[in-house]
Amino acid sequence: MPTVRYGSLICLLLLSVSSLHAEEKNTSRPNVLFIAVDDLNHWVGHLHRNPQTQTPNIDRLASMGVSFTSANCAAPACNPSRAALMSGLRPSTTGVYDNGQAWPPVIPKKLTLTTQFLNAGYNVYGAGKIYHAKQHREGEWTEYFEGQGGKLKLDPSAKNNGVGGIKFGPLSNPDRDMPDYEVVDYALNKLGEQHEKPFFLAVGLVKPHMPWSVPKSYFDKVPLDSIQLPPHTENDLQDVPEAGIKMAKPNGDHALMLKSGRWDEAVQAYLATIQFTDEQVGRLLDGLQKSDYRDNTIIVLWGDHGWHLGEKEHWRKFALWEEACRAPLIWVAPGVTSANTVCDRPVDFMTIYPTLCDLTGIAIPEHVEGTSITPLLKDSQAPWDPPALTTFHRNNHSFRSEKFRYIRYADGSEELYDHAEDPYEWTNLASDAKYDAVKAEFQKHIPEKNVPELPKGTGNKKTKKKAA
């Protein structure tokens, strides 16, 4: 009869119980893969806005869960959009309305999204651009990686580096020299590690932010002679109030672009840069699928705002029309979302903070101004009343419902567009009395609090490590 080694048996049992507890600790709470994409407008395949865009990986992600067709940023600029999303406080509450306005003095550490996850026992990893100018503070992250990339060089085929402030041109570098490639490498390494605690992994991709300069192979996929300019119409600003024209600046970037004759080259460059970004999203998705966390990780992908490429005689963001405000928003939440679901309800990115808390069992802090969209993740046709709200500078607000966009400027002037009939916002209906009731309904949602703007001058500088 074999001898029973009770000490060894007890050790094995203890190890087994310990392993089960560790596994339970790892899997009982979902992880989060939080993907922020800079300057990505709605030129992604699944939103059907641009027929030439090639985004198979972002579209693959959309097919895995719920994609929102009317998702709008909190502000059409990097700094206020990201500060609002990460703090849960709208620009009209903090005074952070534009780039160059420092958010750390008005957004304490205790309020931010990452702090809630740290306090809930998560490890919180960040990489790339989450806040504007890659700002981040100690105490809000377990670990942060910026990514530097290699020295980038324009390819000899490039004419120059662009037109005025619109910078673009193919590069002679391989993909691995790009900072975003390094950022994704970091994220893949994290996905390949064994984690004793649930994790929140924030991955900030800088492209397609300018310069639209990526390896030449991406330009080759969209030949210049095939490029279609975005839909536009002459004299588009003739029914736009002065406040809107001031934002459009038609005599700036657009006039230079028309004079240069290189509008098609700029569009090609933006499309090429989107393709590069899509490749990085694909690498992330592949890495997650190969990891131990594929079945217990919430994914949310968002573009921080839209981008104009000549529509309404405007370039860049910094405006309150559809092109500047609308951006991709995709959710995959195991056990909550269903594959291949499309939601047409209008939501803004202030919903991301409370929804992540909701899905992970973290109490939503009282200061958060957005509403969880978990009901829409479960049922895309669930009732949803509030319009999406975007703000650019004090008292300038844009509202999006499923049918209309309403813009009200600080001087009281207005724009109203019927998206069922006019998806490119060419005809301003605001002066038509038959829409007074429509406008009045939107006006109920104008923020009660519209604080003065913070001074400019420090918001683009990296936050010091000891910032409060």
- Which residues are part of the catalytic machinery? 78, 132
List the Cα angle 105/107/113 in 5-degree steps. 145
The conformation of residue 352, written as its DSSP 8-state character, comes to: H
CA distances from 258 to 255, 264, 272 (A): 5, 10, 21
Nearest Cα to 370, choosing from 444, 317, 447, 452? 447
| The two three-digit tokens of residue 172, written as one number | 């002679």
Gap between the Cα atoms of 185 and 188, Å rounded: 5
Sequence-distant (6+) residues with CB within 8 A of 409 are 241, 243, 244, 395, 396
Nearest Cα to 398, choosing from 455, 324, 290, 291? 324
Q: Residue 237 — φ and ψ, nearest 5°? A: -90, 5
Sequence-distant (6+) residues with CB within 8 A of 295 are 334
Sequence-distant (6+) residues with CB within 8 A of 115 are 109, 139, 140
- Residue 212: count other Cβ atoms within 10 Å of its Cβ: 27
Residue 417 DSSP SS3: strand
Nearest Cα to 178, choosing from 152, 146, 144? 152
Gap between the Cα atoms of 115 and 124, Å rounded: 9
Where are the alpha helices (H) located in 158-202, listed in sequence order? 179-192
